[in-house]
A and B are shown apart, each in its own frame.
Chain A
Amino acid sequence: MKKPVDSEHCADMIEASHPKLVLVGQPNCGKSTLFNEVAGYRSMASNFGGATVEFTESHVKIDGYTYDLVDLPGTYSLTSMDEAERETLRYLVTEEVDAVINVVDASLLSRSLELTLQLMELEIPMVLCLNMMDEAERKGVQIDTGALSQRLGMPVVATVASRGQGLDRLFHQSRCAAQEKTLPHHIAGHQDVESVINGLENELAGRPLPLHASPHLLATKLLEEDPFFTEILGENTDVITDKASESRKVLERDHGRSAAEVIASQRHTLSMEIFESVARVKRPRVHWRDRVDDVLMHNVWGYVFLVVILAAFFNGIFKLGGWLEGPLTTFFEQMAVSVTAWSWMPGLGQQIVIGTIQGIGGGVAIVIPFLFPFLMGLALLEDVGYLPRVAFLMDGLMHKIGLHGKAVIPAMLGYGCNVPAVMATRILESRRDRFIAALVSSLVPCSARMTIIFGLVGMYMGGTAALLIYLANFIVLGIIGAIMTKIMPEVSPGMLFEMPSYQRPTLDKALRKTWFRLKDFFTIAWPLLIAGSVILALIEHFGMGEAINGLLLPITALLGLPRVVGLTLIFGVLRKELSMLMLFQALGTQDVASVLSMTQILTFTVFVVFYIPCVATIGALAKQIKWKSTAMVVLLTLAIAIIMGLLARLVGTMIW
C-alpha cells in the first residue's frame, strides 16, 4: 500500500482560530447524518435526495477544537442545473472557506469522483470522507484509501457517520489541511483539451475576478457555458466571452461534440480510471434487504402492501389523535371560560385574551394529537427508505394527474397539515410541478378538516359516509390534476431518483426530521392562527357578524345554507376546525341535526373541505410559490368548493 497524504504533525494548532469547514457531497451520501452527528439537531437528513435546499451552519466542538461547520445542499456536480446546485456553487466561489470536506458514499465511489474532480479545481484545501464504508463492504467494493489519497493529493478518511466511526480522524485531518493550506493535485485530462483550457486560463490570469475561483475552474466553466459563470463574467469582459466561444469552437471541431460534452466525458473517463486503479469490486453479498423490493415493489403485492401500510398508518394516527384531542380541547376551553370571570378587565381586553388562548389552544390541539404523530410516522417511513418505493408505485398513477411519483410526499404530508405539505413541494424540480403539487396539497383534507368530516358527516351519517368524503376528495384531486396537466403540459424530461438501500430507522433521526417540519408549523402557521383567533374575537366583540353574514349571502343562499352560516366560513379560513365550533355557536346548539337538514350538513362539510386554504397555508403558499400563484390557488379552491357544494346539495336532495 502506498503512503497516503496524511498530516499527523499539526496537532499543536493555535486553538483560537475556528477554521470554516464545508461539507459538500452528492445527495444521500450521509452528509446531513454526519453533520447531525457532530452538530446536533439542526440539519435534516433524508433517505430521499434533494431534502436540503438551504444550507445549515453550526459551531461544533470536537476533540477540544471548535469549528465553523457548514452543511451545503447535496449536489451531483458543480454545474448550476438546479436550485440546490446553484446554491452550493455560489457558496463555494463567494465565501471564504478554509477546507472542503467532500463526503462520498463509498459504495458509489466511481460516480462520486466526478464531483470530487470538480471540487479539486476550486483549489481549496480538501479532505475526502469515504462514508458508508459498511455499505460499500456489503456491496463488495474494496477501496485502497492510501492509493486514492496519493492519487488525489489529499487525506482520505474512511467513516461510518451513522455510527460516529472515523469522525475524530476526519476533523483532525480537515483541521490540518486547513492550517497547512495543502492543495489537492491538479489532475490533468487529455493533452488537447487541457491546452484549450490553459489557453483560456492565461487569458483570464491577471484580470481582477469577482470570485474566489481559480482561473482554471473559470476557464472550464466558461467552456461548459455554465449560466452561473457566464452571467457573472459576461457583463464587462467581452474579450473573454469572445475568446471563450473561440475555444469552444476549437473543441467542437476537434471532437465532433459540444465543448460541454467533451469536458463531461473527459471527467467521466478520469473518474473511472481513478476508480479502477484504487478499488476492486467483488460479488456483492446478497442481503435480505435486496429481496424485500421483490415484494414491496411488486406489480401486485407492492400495491397490496402499500394499502395495508398506509391504512395502518392513518388509522393509528386518527385513533391516537382522537384519544388525545378531547382532554386538550377541554383544558383550553376551560381556560378561556375562566377569563370571563376577570371582572377587572374590560370586555375588549377579555376578548383579546380569549382569542389568544383559543389560538394557542387550537395549535396545541392540532400539533400534539395529530401533527406530531403523523410527521413522526412519516419520518420513520422515510428513513426506512419506503417513500421512494411509494414514489415508484405511484408514479404511473401520478402521471395521470400531471405529476410524478415524487409528488406523493407533499400530498401525503397534506393529510397531517397543509403547511409542511406546501413547504415540501420544494423537492420538485420545476416551477410548474411545484404549483400543481401545492394546489393539490392544499386541497388535501388536513387533520383539522378531518375533525369536521368526522364531527359532522361521521357523527350524523356514519363512518362510511365520512370515508366517502375522503374518496370524493381523492377523485376531485385526480380530476383537478388532470385538468391542470391539460392547461400546463408537462415539460420536464421526467423523473429520475435513486432507490436507496433500506436502512434501520433511528428514533433521534426521525425526531430531528419531525422537528424540522414542525418548525414550519410553529413559525408560519401558529402565529397566523393566533392572530386569526384575535381578529375573530374582535369581529365578535364589535358585532360585525351580521354584516359579514350579509356579505356572504350569495354563497350561503346558493348552497341552500342558513344565513348565519356565513360567518363560520370566514372563521374557517382563519382556522379550519373553527368553522365547526362556530357553527355550533351560530346555530346555538351542539345538536346540528335539530336545526340543519342532512343535505345542509353534507353541503356544509363538503364546502368546508374544499374551500380556501387556511391563513397559515396561504402563508406557506406565498413563501413557496409566490403571491400571484397563491391568489390563483385561493380562487380555484373557492370555485371547486362551490361546484362540490352544489353537487353535495344535489346528491342530498336525491337521497333524503
Chain B
Amino acid sequence: MSAKPLDEIEMGRHVNVAVIGGGHHMRATLNNRGIHVGDGLTVLRAGILRGPIVVRVHGSEVALGRHMAHRILVEAAP
C-alpha cells in the first residue's frame, strides 16, 4: 500500500505515519498528543457526516477532526 490519507483508512487497520502535512503548528500539536512520523496507529472508528477519526496511539485514544486526519499520510504497518 502506498501512502494514503488517514481519513481513507478502514476501521481496525494498523498503519504507520508516513508524512505529517500542514505547518509547524499542526505537526507540533500532533507531536504533543504522541503522534509522530513513524509511529503506529490503529484506526478505531470514524464519525458520520465527516465526523472525527479515532485512533489508538501509544496506548491512548485520540480523536482527530477530518481536516487534520486528511493531512496525515499513512502506510500499512509492516
Q: Chain A interface (Cβ within 8 Å of chain B)?
A: 76-77, 79, 81, 107-108, 110-111, 114, 139, 141, 258, 260-261, 264-265, 268, 281, 284, 293, 297, 299, 388, 391-393, 395-397, 399-400, 404-405, 493-499
A81 to B32, CA, bound (A): 11
Q: Are A404 and B65 in contact (CB under 8 A)?
A: yes
When distances are taken between beta carbons in the complex, the residues of chain B under 8 Å from A392 are: 47, 51-52, 54, 63
Q: Are A79 and B68 in contact (CB under 8 A)?
A: no
How far apart are A238's CB and chain B's nearest CB, in angstroms?
24
A81 to B23, CA, bound (A): 13
Q: Are A498 and B61 in contact (CB under 8 A)?
A: yes
When distances are taken between beta carbons in the complex, the residues of chain B under 8 Å from A299 are: 47-48
Q: Which residue on B lies nearest to A396, using beta carbons?
A: B49
A396 to B63, CA, bound (A): 12
Q: Are A110 and B67 in contact (CB under 8 A)?
A: no
21 A-B pairs within 8 Å (CB atoms) are namely A79-B28, A81-B25, A81-B29, A114-B31, A261-B24, A261-B27, A264-B28, A265-B37, A395-B52, A404-B65, A405-B52, A493-B26, A493-B29, A494-B66, A495-B64, A496-B29, A496-B30, A496-B65, A498-B33, A498-B63, A499-B63
Known: A494-B67, A495-B63. 13 other contacts (CB 8 A): A76-B32, A108-B58, A261-B27, A264-B28, A284-B59, A297-B54, A392-B51, A393-B47, A395-B63, A493-B29, A495-B52, A496-B62, A499-B61
When distances are taken between beta carbons in the complex, the residues of chain B under 8 Å from A395 are: 47, 51-52, 63, 65
When distances are taken between beta carbons in the complex, the residues of chain A under 8 Å from B48 are: 299, 396
A268 to B20, CA, bound (A): 15
When distances are taken between beta carbons in the complex, the residues of chain B under 8 Å from A265 are: 36-37
Q: Are A388 and B63 in contact (CB under 8 A)?
A: yes
When distances are taken between beta carbons in the complex, the residues of chain A under 8 Å from B50 are: 396, 399
Known contacts: A141-B59, A395-B52. The answer to whether A260 contacts B24 by CB under 8 A is: yes
Q: Which residue on B lies nearest to A501, using beta carbons?
A: B61
How far apart are B35's CB and chain A's nearest CB, in angstroms?
9
Q: Are A77 and B32 in contact (CB under 8 A)?
A: yes
B60 within 8 A of A: yes
- Of B37, B51, B54, most buried by chain A (CB within 10 Å of CB) is B51
- 5 A-B pairs with least C-beta separation: A396-B49, A494-B65, A76-B32, A111-B34, A396-B51
Q: Are B62 and A497 in contact (CB under 8 A)?
A: yes
A461 to B23, CA, bound (A): 55
Q: How many residues does chain B have at the interface if contact means C-beta atoms less than 8 Å apart?
A: 36
Known contacts: A79-B28, A268-B31, A493-B26. The answer to whether A393 contacts B51 by CB under 8 A is: yes
A155 to B69, CA, bound (A): 39
Q: Are A496 and B64 in contact (CB under 8 A)?
A: yes
A579 to B29, CA, bound (A): 47
When distances are taken between beta carbons in the complex, the residues of chain B under 8 Å from A261 are: 24, 27
B4 within 8 A of A: no
When distances are taken between beta carbons in the complex, the residues of chain B under 8 Å from A405 are: 51-52, 63
When distances are taken between beta carbons in the complex, the residues of chain B under 8 Å from A110 are: 34, 58-59
Query: Main SS of chain B's interface residues?
Result: mixed
How far apart are A650's CB and chain B's nearest CB, in angstroms?
32
A260 to B26, CA, bound (A): 13
Q: Are B36 and A107 in contact (CB under 8 A)?
A: no
How far apart are B15's CB and chain A's nearest CB, in angstroms?
18
Q: Are B29 and A108 in contact (CB under 8 A)?
A: no
B14 within 8 A of A: no
How far apart are B36's CB and chain A's nearest CB, in angstroms?
5
- Of B22, B33, B59, most buried by chain A (CB within 10 Å of CB) is B59
How far apart are B33's CB and chain A's nearest CB, in angstroms?
6
- Of B25, B28, B37, most buried by chain A (CB within 10 Å of CB) is B28
A258 to B51, CA, bound (A): 32
How far apart are B55's CB and chain A's nearest CB, in angstroms?
10
Q: Are A77 and B28 in contact (CB under 8 A)?
A: yes
When distances are taken between beta carbons in the complex, the residues of chain A under 8 Å from B52 are: 392, 395, 405, 495
A135 to B43, CA, bound (A): 22
How far apart are B20's CB and chain A's nearest CB, in angstroms?
10
When distances are taken between beta carbons in the complex, the residues of chain A under 8 Å from B45 are: 293, 297
Known contacts: A396-B51, A405-B52. The answer to whether A494 contacts B28 by CB under 8 A is: no
Q: Which residue on B lies nearest to A110, using beta carbons?
A: B58
A108 to B56, CA, bound (A): 12
A399 to B68, CA, bound (A): 13
Known contacts: A261-B27, A498-B61. The answer to whether A108 contacts B34 by CB under 8 A is: yes
When distances are taken between beta carbons in the complex, the residues of chain B under 8 Å from A108 are: 34, 58-60
How far apart are A495's CB and chain B's nearest CB, in angstroms?
4
When distances are taken between beta carbons in the complex, the residues of chain B under 8 Å from A107 are: 59-60
When distances are taken between beta carbons in the complex, the residues of chain B under 8 Å from A496 are: 29-30, 33, 62-65, 68
When distances are taken between beta carbons in the complex, the residues of chain B under 8 Å from A499 are: 54, 60-63
Known contacts: A77-B32, A392-B52, A499-B63. The answer to whether A111 contacts B47 by CB under 8 A is: no
How far apart are A431's CB and chain B's nearest CB, in angstroms?
15
How far apart are B77's CB and chain A's nearest CB, in angstroms?
16
How far apart are A229's CB and chain B's nearest CB, in angstroms?
15
Q: Which residue on A lies nearest to B48, using beta carbons?
A: A299
How far apart are B63's CB and chain A's nearest CB, in angstroms?
5
A297 to B24, CA, bound (A): 31
A260 to B28, CA, bound (A): 9
A292 to B34, CA, bound (A): 24
A592 to B40, CA, bound (A): 66
Q: Are A498 and B60 in contact (CB under 8 A)?
A: yes
Q: Are B33 and A111 in contact (CB under 8 A)?
A: yes
When distances are taken between beta carbons in the complex, the residues of chain B under 8 Å from A111 are: 33-34, 58, 60
Q: Which residue on A lies nearest to B26, using beta carbons?
A: A493
When distances are taken between beta carbons in the complex, the residues of chain A under 8 Å from B54 are: 297, 392, 499
When distances are taken between beta carbons in the complex, the residues of chain B under 8 Å from A498 are: 33, 60-63
A498 to B32, CA, bound (A): 11
When distances are taken between beta carbons in the complex, the residues of chain A under 8 Å from B47 are: 299, 392-393, 395-396
A76 to B52, CA, bound (A): 21
When distances are taken between beta carbons in the complex, the residues of chain A under 8 Å from B31 are: 77, 114, 264, 268
When distances are taken between beta carbons in the complex, the residues of chain A under 8 Å from B69 are: 494
When distances are taken between beta carbons in the complex, the residues of chain A under 8 Å from B24 are: 258, 260-261
When distances are taken between beta carbons in the complex, the residues of chain B under 8 Å from A79 are: 28
How far apart are A282's CB and chain B's nearest CB, in angstroms?
12
When distances are taken between beta carbons in the complex, the residues of chain A under 8 Å from B27 are: 261, 264
